[in-house]
Structure 1
């Protein structure tokens, strides 16, 4: 951050005393002139109000705070079997695989990914933490299949250890973050939990008539809604569905959960499309409709957005969930800079012109067929195949869209890049957009394979990396060492320059970064440490190095040490 003048330091001091009253001068200084100009030009920023904050669900800070993130001495890449942080920072392990999370004896699942924190009574030190569980490792969980088949007991373990965990968490008097296993809020949502289907595919032949389905799994990332529920995304669901003998049309959806109410029926929203979902980013169009952006995390797959037909009503609370049942799914055509509506009429019209017309017309008869076979419909309509679009985030400062394209080695995009979309008139409901490559992975930037993204209140983009365990510390990936976490300014003279904040343990990736609203705590998941272990008596990692452990354990941590500038 640039050195402040004496007058600016006075403004900053006054803001610290009255953190809800940041003045415009301090805001502009804190973000830098580049961010201020962009925000003022594209968002019509005249005063710092909640109206702009409502543009995105995933960032609670809005423009109310002069917070703490981004002030650290960057670390160097390392291959240590540890979660390495800058000087002055520490982490607390909140929960690791197998830990008991409630009095019923439920246990924390495997390979934790996305995290989202829900404050209790506005607290920054007490709340509910949802954590995704993406997949299992048979070496440590269900055991290897015999003759290609799992036993019923193995299938139960496979399904139970995916889905999500809800933890009651708090920061104690010594500043240590802990889980409360006696809380009534602690519960699991798993591959065994009953779900309701909503939207155009529910009850149709495209899902074999189902209106309710069993379970959720392959939960990668997700997002928060504007009405204080969570969305979790089913990504690489195919193998688990096959191993468990389940109908795969029931998976690959976006699910919704109310973390505070176990009696609220969990649901899968088919209107948002079925594909290999990474996450969601929710915001509002200028006319008040809900917009949800999504990426399909596989090679040569597309970027999507859903726009509700109805308008968001803050007074309706979680009844706004119905908005995710009725709307239009769009796919991005990046060559034209246009969002293409994925309606049954448009799909059938395109099918009429295809060489395999009869096959396509038989496949796409209803809107249910369109959302179930979303990728195929998108390709037919001219959606642009991209390089593994993973996390998507809406900038709360200017409504631009950041997309982590992790990589696509079949196209020579070895290290991936981060794309930035500019919606026409900064309206999330727009039908046209422009885009740029915001940052490219590689030796020149110090990071490779960007994955999950989040913003802080000073306009920085935080990203974690997803170099495959088999490639870490070898070949063209050698200089990056272990996977890490990086901070990239989005404006000012250091725009696009990555600074490393964390390095993960051996063969792990860091996932699911989420700040408390005051940005004094960063929640982070450490996924699959020691993933390449072949001999359980000789694991390649022993993180988190807890006394008595005989295996590496995925875990979710709370990072503290952030300070006011």
Structure 2
């Protein structure tokens, strides 16, 4: 029986139907976080009164115990694609933009359609796909002859965060992409042979991490192609050495038998979203790292990060690599070395990537930088777990003209967690999404310090404990539990900050910031920093309560007529165009509103504020990741993750992106996560 079949057979599907993903994705991507016990069991308002009694070093940490469907399946590389503009509800979608991306919004695409769908007048092509070689010495991708050595020099699996960084000429540049996790059932046929499973496990190690790939084009505005043997080409894998930085580097909490210094870590795991810094480096968030470890979860800090004990993982690494078996006393700290913001220099393939402990440890979706008025840099971050928190980091030092100095800005500074307050009577927050009497879900908030001036700001916690067990520190100060904060990005035009809250089907106690019981569709919160980006107070309002207005009557789109918007569910990653419009990619629409996931434009000002317009839809079972909007060039880029996730090696559910034959094992048949560019036909 295949992995996918085992997962479907063994998991309680009713619970998955309430969430946003298939059972296979839940198992592989986040180790069934939504089905396990809730990691955050705090009652925050009551926590502070008992913190001094409970949060002693020994008691807490146990340290003594070591008709868009018209674009058919055949749409593929270099094939023009067009889609019917919506009619009926949403007929007003065709509002043109002033920049180079005027389009008529596509109609929603049924979740079972295996097509990459774009608006009329546009076409699409992959820039690079899983397995494409980065070097001429590397063999061409062969689904039936994969090896760890080849995969370590080929483009990785399950693309997520993406950026396209042009050089000054505009004709060359680099593409940087995260590779979040693998699906063994799509990569290989079933096997029970121990030696073969270990060999595959090493391929999984090589397929994850990050890719840096040079790109080129003939003229500015043209589509890109990737460069084999590019000077900056690089793969970062689960075996690449990283340096720990910041106050927790060298801590006893980070030391293992293989690294008694607690400063050098092999690999990065669960790389989800990220950000690009003003000094040109790439940030990547280590998100669902807990699912890679077998661990006992017998201490408070382990339970807060893993939820429950595990004896096996989907990769099987713990069977032969002791560092993934946290039951082993020599490696009990290995999980503490993951869950950070990673920084890499895409310009220097010989540089050592770093993990920044000063930004805290949790399930980082990503990190995005804003330069405050006082010159300090502020990183906004979400912890992608139901009922977890929103964070920001403010650097100690100020940005300068020295790239070398700027690359140290994330090693020192203050870490904060958000506390929200609503301004409506509690009785008006009914859990249905109905607006309170003042016509808006809004209020004020405070950034509560977790670290200040190089010291812990949380009673009962050392500085190292705050940065390694950040969730527990945030529990102690009464942070607001949120509905899975994923991407958090400041708008480069207005400075307002946008928080994508994907969903929380187990939300029971509502508040004005999270006002929907059993929130299946997610929402987007708009923050305004009232004391500056490096300050500690903010105002907030809900921009959107997502969903299909035809089935969720209280869906809300900043007051825009809901009958004219594209249905949208489960906001995940966000981006902005040159005019400051918000673009949202989704992850979970198939299981919540029955449509394929996609990319949506949302104006934020004027009469069009809140007018959600769908730009593209991804193939069956796929998630839309890492949107990059180069609207002045008429280009949009997305990463297509886990196409055909619910299929098998022998019976694929997607033929994306090559749409070739249907013979099992045919490279043109295998669904291949890819980076796609959309441009004028």
TM-score of the aligned structures, taking structure 2 as reference length = 0.66
Question: Aligned-pair distance for 1:545?
Answer: 2.6
Once the two structures are TM-superposed, the CA of residue 100 in structure 1 deviates from its matched residue by: 0.7
Q: How does 1:469-480 map to 2 (within 5 A)?
A: 472=590, 476-478=592-594
Counterpart-to-counterpart distance in 2, 1:263 and 1:543: 34
Give the aligned partner of residue 442 of structure 1.
547
After superposition, the C-alpha distances for 1:174-222 in whole angstroms (9 at most, x for unaligned) are 9443111131221101111000000011000121241110011211010
Structure 2: distance between partners of 1:550 and 1:195: 36
Q: Show structure 2 runs of 5+ residues with no match.
A: 1-96, 139-152, 256-260, 295-315, 318-322, 325-333, 422-443, 508-517, 550-564, 661-666
Q: Is the 8 A contact 1:142 1:157 kept in 2?
A: no
Say which of 517, 530, 534 aligns to 1:424: 530
Change (3 A) 1:211 1:89: same
Which of 125, 132, 137 matches 1:92?
125
Pairing 1:521–2:552 present: no
Following superposition, the deviation at residue 146 of structure 1 comes to 5.5
Query: Would the aligned equivalents of 1:347 and 1:380 in 2 still touch at CA under 8 Å?
Result: no
Q: Which residue of 1 aligns with 2:671?
A: 552
Give the drift of 1:144: 6.7
The answer to whether residue 223 in structure 2 is matched with residue 136 in structure 1 is: no
Question: What pairs up with 1:206-285 in 2 under 5 angstroms?
Answer: 206-208=253-255, 209-242=261-294, 243-244=316-317, 245-246=323-324, 247-285=334-372
Deviation readout 1:278-330 (Å, 9 max, x if unpaired): 111101121111110000011001000000111111x2113212111110100
Aligned residues: 474
Deviations 1:356-389 (A, max 9, x none): xxxxx4xx3x211111111111111111110010
| Distance (whole Å) between structure 1 residues aligned to residue 99 and residue 457 of structure 2 | 53
Aligned position for 1:185: 232
CA contact (8 A) 2:165 2:174 kept: yes
Tell me whether 1:327 sits opposite 2:413 in the alignment.
yes
Equivalent of residue 472 in structure 2, options 372, 376, 380? 376
Question: Which secondary structure does the structure 1 equivalent of 2:608 belong to?
Answer: coil
The worse-fitting range, judged by mean Cα deviation, of 239-248 and 68-77 is 239-248
8 Å contact 2:114–2:654 — kept in the other structure? yes
Indicate conservation of the 8 Å contact 2:373/2:533, yes or no. Answer: yes
Higher deviation after alignment, 458-467 or 535-544: 535-544
Contact 1:218 1:237 in 2 (8 A): yes
* CA positional deviation for 1:76: 0.4
**Equivalence for 1:39:** none
Change (3 A) 1:171 1:304: same
Note if 1:452 corresponds to 2:607: no
Match of 2:205 among 139, 159, 179: 159
Structure 1 pair 72–311 and aligned structure 2 pair: CA distance change class (3 A): same
Supply the distance in 1 between the matched residues of 2:457 and 2:276 (Cα, whole angstroms).
36
Secondary structure of 2:118 counterpart: coil
Q: 1:144 to 1:298 in 2, by over 3 A?
A: farther
Counterpart contact for 2:341–2:359, Cα < 8 Å: yes
Q: Render the CA deviation track for 1:27-83: whole Å, top value 9, x for unaligned.
A: xxxxxxxxxxxxxxxxxxxxxxxxxxxxxxxxxxxxxxx973541001001132111
Q: Following TM superposition, by how much is the alpha carbon of 1:148 offset from its aligned partner in structure 2, in angstroms?
A: 10
Q: Could you list the per-position Cα deviations for residues 491-527 of structure 1 after superposition, in whole angstroms to 9, with x for gaps in the alignment?
A: 1112112111101100001110113484432221011
CA contact (8 A) 1:448 1:465 kept: yes
Say whether 1:73 aligns with 2:104: yes
What is the CA distance between 1:172 and its match in structure 2? 4.3
| Secondary structure in structure 1 of the residue aligned to 2:231 | coil
Partner of 1:537: 650
Deviation digits for residues 145-167 of structure 1 (CA, Å, limit 9, x no counterpart): 85999954233222211111111
3-state SS in 2 of match to 1:283: strand
CA contact (8 A) 1:141 1:158 kept: no
SS of corresponding position for 2:628: strand
SS at match of 2:358: helix
The verdict on how the C-alpha distance between 1:519 and 1:405 changes in structure 2, with shifts beyond 3 A counting, is farther
Does the C-alpha gap of structure 1 residues 149 and 449 become closer, same or farther in structure 2, counting only changes over 3 Å? farther
Cα separation, partners in 2 of 1:417 and 1:67, compared to 1, 3 Å:
same
CA distance in 2, matches of 1:200, 1:146: 45
- Which residue number corresponds to residue 338 of structure 1? 446
CA distance change for structure 1 residues 440 and 318 in 2, over 3 Å: closer, same or farther?
farther
Matched residue, 2:619: 505
Distance in 1 between residues matched to 2:354 and 2:680, nearest whole Å: 38
Distance of aligned partners of 1:264 and 1:374 in 2 relative to their CA distance in 1, 3 Å threshold: same
The answer to whether the 8 Å contact 2:456/2:463 transfers is no
| 2:6 counterpart residue number | none
Tell whether 2:536 aligns with 1:489. no
CA–CA distance in structure 1, aligned partners of residues 544 and 230 of structure 2: 43
Tell me the CA shift for residue 239 of structure 1.
1.8
Q: Measure the CA separation in 2 of the matches of 1:207 and 1:275.
A: 15
The Cα RMSD (Å) is: 2.4
Distance 1:233 1:258, change over 3 A: same
**Deviation at residue 121 of structure 1 after TM alignment:** 2.4
Contact between 1:67 and 1:457, CA under 8 Å: does it hold in 2? no
In 2, are the aligned partners of 1:390 and 1:451 still within 8 Å (CA)? yes
Change (3 A) 1:88 1:152: same
TM-aligned CA distance change 1:145 to 1:428, over 3 Å: farther
Relative to structure 1, the CA distance from residue 195 to residue 67 in structure 2 (aligned partners, 3 Å threshold; closer, same or farther) is farther
2-side partners of 1:104 and 1:238: how far apart?
A: 35
**SS of aligned partner of 1:140:** helix
